[in-house]
């Protein structure tokens, strides 16, 4: 799958950046053009001004001559020198006139006003028979010299008038400066306008980008009808849609989910991510045995599902160290690399005192929440002291998560009903963490859940999760109903999200499964060999039909009901007497609790009672084996059996059913499966039973024992295909893909809410 990171980030921001850069370029271009225009036009403007000023001065010179010419001619004719001097001084008194003179011949002027430059000779002044103008530089100043001929009454002379041109130059410079300042102003204004426009557009885009993200996030990628799309909307939708397309691609049945596929997801979609698992039960228990430290793999669906996932992902599994030799096998930080042979991840053990164990595990979790969530008609017990201990232990695990986290945003996979408060506690410590909580047991309807005294706290605790998973859609619906009834929040039923105190939780079904192919299968003998070995051990004939039931000794598993069904079978079909055995393997579990020890006693009593009833048949119909069975033994029993019975009164999923299917690579064997186990949603080719109906279950046992081989093959083939494709790597992979998408979505929302620069 293509990396989401690669898909999203560049597209939005390249777009924004390229538009801004484009506008900035326009601004720069306009500024340079304005500058060049200023540089080019300023000298031209100055020349025009000077030319215009000179013509103005020429006109003034002509006007002066026209005004005084006649009078001067008269004075010259009368040789009135004093009046001529006075006239010249009067004319020269004009501010712009430097001086006036009269030239006859080439020597010094005959008359000259006082300020007429003394160096000026008539020879140096261009004269002609018509008025003429020339320029001269006198004492560093530019002068316009006007020469007007006087030729009347035998007088031949030129009236000379000098104007200072420096004022025109000053005017030109002044105008050039004004023009430059004006152009610089225009340049500045146009650049500011361009930048302003660019930032306005950028802000508009950003605004529409945010709206589009919010809209896309809210509408789960689909456009709201009638909505006018912003410039980013379609782009964002396309990209977010890509995320969904990639989900569909990886969700599809055609994807072969494997350890490697899971690793690929981590590498491409969550590169370098820190994975932490929190589960009460540890995957490897070290106990002191008669021959030293012994390793035990617990009988736990949770462990058999999660352990292969951890082997694929690496990371740290934080669990209660419950083995008698657990402390001896950890390092100074309470860590141990596991599996013991070829370690692939770290197990961090947390020590819980006996009192804590009584309150948190036995009390609140297993006498309170367990019977509350399973409809098995065992009354839950709620004690305030247990609740307080449960809270304290959850806090301790939250601290351990903080200890083990290598980054502020790890992916934390919280397992089960032992940690209902932990999601919120981790959210408070690591707000950036992606918290995936998986509830391995059913979630009851809101009415049933309503009897739990701390219902609000538990719901709020769980709503600290980013993703909350259940096995089935039915349990998701029950949870959402409970939220609706007991907690103030915003529920989006279409997208199955709950928003509570600013945190959004996706509530999704992730049907748990098993490793495919299971590791325990690798070391198995042929089915024929297994059949023989097991029958030899049981001391029954080779043709004795064998039905197995394997689980923890738990009142939810319907062990007693299964025994009653055997009784019914033998009543209704006596031909099976002496030819059939139910091998019930039951691992002692939570035996400290009266409900469990009582069940064990009751099971022994009932098995004895039924066996006694058929004692004359040679083979006792029920063989009850109360001990822990290692996975290899379990798989041998599965392969040896003609049928496997899973008669849970209520079960989140039940992995025994899936393991039985996985063990039967010979495509034989019949599965009897309770309709109250989550697995019945997926394994519909099993014989579906109602454990409360002993008679019907007896008939189902008969059907299993008499099912023709082709029908067994047909059913088993379909179930194997389903379990192989919907294996535990898919379970984990879908959660991790959803986590990757969430992290991506949060990154986008964070980027959109960051202040624009
Ligand atoms: O069904 C819930 C569950 O956690 C299972 O996954 C597992 O098989 C069982 O309970 C284990 O119980 P415990 O850890 O108490 O032995």
Write out pLDDT tens, residues 504-522.
999 999 999 999 999 999 9
Predicted local distance difference test score (pLDDT) of residue 226:
37
Q: Is a pLDDT exceeding 80 seen at residue 248?
A: no
Rounded CA gap, 531 and 529, in Å? 5
CA of 281 to the centre of ligand 1 (A): 8
Strand 155-164 and strand 141-152: the pairing is antiparallel
Q: Which pLDDT score, from 0 to 100, does residue 213 have?
A: 58
CA 567 to centroid of ligand 1, rounded, Å? 29
How many angstroms is it from 265 CA to the middle of ligand 1?
A: 28
Phi, psi of 246 (to 5 degrees): -65, -35
Note every long-range contact of 126-129, with CB atoms under 8 Å and residues 24 or more positions apart, other chains counting: 127/103, 127/158
Distance 366 CA to ligand 1 centre (A): 10
Q: Which atom of ligand 1 is found nearest the CA of 299?
A: 8
- Cβ atoms < 10 Å from Cβ of 291: 6
Answer whether residue 242 shows pLDDT above 80: no
Question: What band does 600 get if pLDDT is binned at 50, 70 and 90?
Answer: very high
Q: Is the CB of 281 under 6 A from ligand 1?
A: yes
pLDDT at res. 201: 74
Higher pLDDT, 15 or 308: 308
Of 28-32, 269-273, 403-407, which one has max mean pLDDT?
403-407
Ligand 1 pocket test: which of 296, 302, 595 has the largest number of ligand atoms within 8 Å of its C-beta?
302
The pLDDT assigned to 708 comes to 98
SS3 assignment, position 641: coil
Query: Sorting pLDDT into bands at 50, 70 and 90, what band is 593?
Result: very high
Assess whether pLDDT exceeds 70 at residue 629. yes
Q: Are 352 and 383 in contact (CB under 8 A)?
A: no
The residue-averaged pLDDT of 10-38 equals 64
Residue 219 has pLDDT above 50, yes or no: no
Atom of ligand 1 nearest to the CA of 416: 4
Residue 683 near residue 644, CB atoms below 8 Å: no
User: Which spans in 78-159 are helix H?
Assistant: 81-92
**Averaged pLDDT of the chain:** 88
Peptide bond into 550 cis (omega under 30): no
Q: How confident is the model at residue 284 (pLDDT cuts 50, 70, 90)?
A: very high
Most confidently predicted of 99-103, 307-311, 402-406: 402-406
What's the 552 CA to ligand 1 centre distance in angstroms?
9
The alpha-helical segments, DSSP class H, found in 314-350 are: 326-329
- In short, whether 374's Cβ falls inside 6 Å of ligand 1 is no
pLDDT at 4: 38
Residue 214's pLDDT is what?
A: 56
Does residue 652's CB lie within 6 angstroms of at least one atom of ligand 1?
yes
Q: How confident is the model at residue 197 (pLDDT cuts 50, 70, 90)?
A: confident
243: pLDDT strictly greater than 80? no
Task: Give the Cα separation of 276 and 347 in Å (integer).
Answer: 10
- Residue 392 Cα, ligand 1 centroid: separation in angstroms? 21
> What phi and psi values does residue 181 have, to the nearest 5 degrees?
-60, -40
Taking only the tens place, the pLDDT of each residue in 542-560 is: 999 999 999 999 999 999 9
Q: Can you tell me the distance from the alpha carbon of 674 to that of 652, in angstroms, rounded to the nearest whole number? A: 12
Q: Which two tokens stand for residue 132?
A: 């003429």
C-beta 416 within 6 A of ligand 1: yes
Q: Which domains does the chain carry? A: 79-168 (3.30.450.20), 199-246 (no CATH), 274-349+396-509 (3.40.50.2000), 525-726 (3.40.50.2000)
Over residues 594-619, the mean pLDDT reads: 96
693-698: list long-range contacts, CB under 8 Å, 24+ apart: 694/561, 694/564, 694/565, 694/567, 694/568, 695/568, 695/572, 697/561, 697/562, 697/564, 697/565, 697/568, 697/647, 697/672, 698/565, 698/566, 698/567, 698/568, 698/569, 698/571, 698/572, 698/573
Pocket lining: 301 vs ligand 1, CB cutoff 6 Å: yes
Query: Does residue 415 have its Cβ closer than 6 Å to ligand 1?
Result: no
> Does residue 589 line the site of ligand 1, with CB under 6 A?
yes
């Amino acid at each position: 799958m293509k990396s989401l990171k690669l898909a999203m980030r560049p597209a939005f921001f390249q777009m924004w950046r390229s538009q801004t850069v484009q506008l900035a370029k326009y601004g720069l271009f306009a500024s340079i053009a304005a500058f060049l225009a200023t540089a080019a036009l300023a000298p031209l403007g100055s020349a025009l001004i000077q030319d215009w000023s000179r013509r103005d001065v020429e006109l003034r010179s002509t006007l002066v001559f026209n005004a005084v010419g006649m009078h001067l001619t008269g004075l010259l004719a009368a040789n009135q020198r004093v009046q001529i001097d006075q006239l010249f001084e009067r004319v020269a008194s004009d501010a712009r006139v430097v001086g006036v003179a009269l030239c006859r011949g080439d020597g010094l002027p005959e008359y000259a006003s006082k300020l007429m430059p003394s160096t000026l000779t008539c020879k140096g002044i261009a004269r002609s028979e018509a008025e003429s103008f020339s320029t001269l530089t006198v004492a560093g100043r530019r002068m316009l010299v006007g020469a007007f001929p006087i030729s009347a009454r035998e007088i031949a002379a030129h009236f000379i008038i000098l104007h200072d041109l420096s004022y025109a130059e000053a005017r030109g410079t002044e105008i050039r400066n004004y023009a430059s300042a004006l152009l610089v102003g225009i340049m500045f204004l146009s650049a500011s306008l361009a930048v302003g426009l660019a930032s306005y557009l950028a802000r508009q885009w950003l605004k529409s980008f945010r709206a589009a993200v919010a809209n896309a996030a809210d509408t789960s990628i689909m456009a709201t009808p009638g909505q006018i799309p912003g410039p980013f909307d379609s782009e964002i939708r396309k990209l977010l849609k890509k995320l969904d397309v990639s989900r569909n691609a990886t969700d599809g049945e055609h994807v072969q989910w494997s350890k490697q596929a899971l690793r690929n997801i981590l590498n491409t979609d969550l590169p370098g991510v820190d994975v932490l698992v929190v589960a009460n039960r540890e995957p490897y228990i070290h106990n002191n045995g008669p021959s030293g430290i012994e390793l035990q793999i617990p009988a736990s669906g949770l462990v058999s599902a999660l352990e292969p996932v951890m082997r694929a992902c690496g990371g740290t599994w934080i669990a209660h160290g419950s083995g008698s030799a657990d402390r001896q096998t950890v390092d100074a930080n309470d860590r141990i690399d596991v599996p013991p042979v070829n370690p692939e991840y770290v197990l961090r053990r947390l020590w819980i005192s006996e009192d804590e164990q009584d309150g948190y595990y036995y009390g609140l979790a297993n006498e309170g929440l367990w019977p509350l969530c399973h409809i098995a008609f065992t009354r839950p017990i709620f004690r305030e002291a247990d609740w307080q201990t449960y809270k304290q232990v959850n806090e301790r695990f939250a601290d351990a998560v903080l200890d083990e986290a290598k980054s502020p945003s790890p992916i934390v996979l919280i397992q089960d009903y032992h940690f209902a408060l932990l999601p919120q506690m981790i959210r408070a410590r690591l707000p950036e963490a992606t918290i995936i909580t998986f509830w391995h047991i059913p979630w009851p309807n809101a009415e049933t859940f309503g009897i739990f005294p701390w219902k609000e706290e538990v719901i709020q605790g769980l709503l600290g999760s980013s993703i909350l998973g259940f096995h089935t859609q039915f349990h998701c619906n029950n949870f959402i109903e409970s939220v609706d009834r007991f907690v103030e929040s915003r529920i989006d039923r279409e997208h199955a999200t709950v928003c509570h105190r600013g945190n959004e939780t996706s509530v999704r079904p992730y049907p748990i499964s098993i490793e495919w192919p299971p590791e325990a299968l690798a070391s198995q003998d042929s089915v024929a060999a297994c059949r023989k070995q097991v029958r030899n051990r049981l001391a029954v004939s080779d043709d004795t039909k064998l039905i197995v039931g394997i689980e923890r000794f738990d009142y939810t598993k319907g062990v007693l009901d299964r025994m009653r069904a055997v009784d019914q079978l033998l009543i209704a079909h006596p031909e099976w007497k002496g030819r059939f055995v139910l091998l019930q393997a039951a691992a002692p579990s939570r035996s400290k609790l009266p409900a469990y020890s009582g069940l064990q006693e009751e099971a022994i009593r009932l098995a004895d009672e039924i066996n006694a009833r058929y004692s004359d048949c040679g083979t006792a119909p029920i063989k009850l084996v109360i001990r822990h069975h290692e996975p290899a033994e379990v798989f041998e029993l599965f392969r040896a059996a003609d049928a496997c019975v899973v008669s849970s009164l209520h079960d989140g999923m039940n992995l025994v059913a899936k393991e039985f299917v996985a063990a039967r690579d010979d495509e034989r064997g019949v599965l009897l499966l309770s309709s109250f186990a989550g697995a019945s949603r997926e394994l519909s080719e099993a014989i579906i039973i109602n454990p409360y109906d002993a008679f019907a279950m007896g008939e189902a046992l008969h059907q299993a024992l008499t099912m023709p081989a082709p029908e067994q093959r047909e059913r088993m083939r379909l179930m194997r295909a389903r379990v192989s494709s919907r294996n535990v790597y898919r379970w984990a992979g879908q959660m991790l893909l959803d986590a990757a998408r969430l992290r991506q979505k949060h990154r986008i929302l964070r980027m959109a809410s960051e202040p624009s620069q």
